[in-house]
Amino acid sequence: MEFTFRKLGYTYKIFAIVDGHLMQFEPDEEGSFRATLSDLHGNEVRPVASTRPERGLIEAVILKLTQEFK
């Protein structure tokens, strides 16, 4: 899996293709990450329920990012 890191002012976002979907991960207030589906411009998109990435895979990516960025 390839990740792209983008610094945005005082924060950052990490983009990755997860289960065929472009996802963006950003730090949350609790020291973990939140994940949203994204278009190529970084705008959040809402998929049809049947096309969402697998939840367990997203949770595994969030766990790894949290470990790496603490």
DSSP E strand stretches across the chain: 3-8, 11-18, 21-27, 33-37
Q: For 3-60, how does the pLDDT look when each residue is reduced to its tens digit (9 = 90+)?
A: 999 998 999 999 998 888 889 999 999 989 999 988 777 777 776 666 778 889 999 9
Q: What residue ranges do the domains of the chain occupy?
A: 3-69
Q: With beta carbons less than 8 A apart as the criterion, state whether 34 and 23 touch.
A: no
pLDDT above 90: percentage of residues in the chain:
40
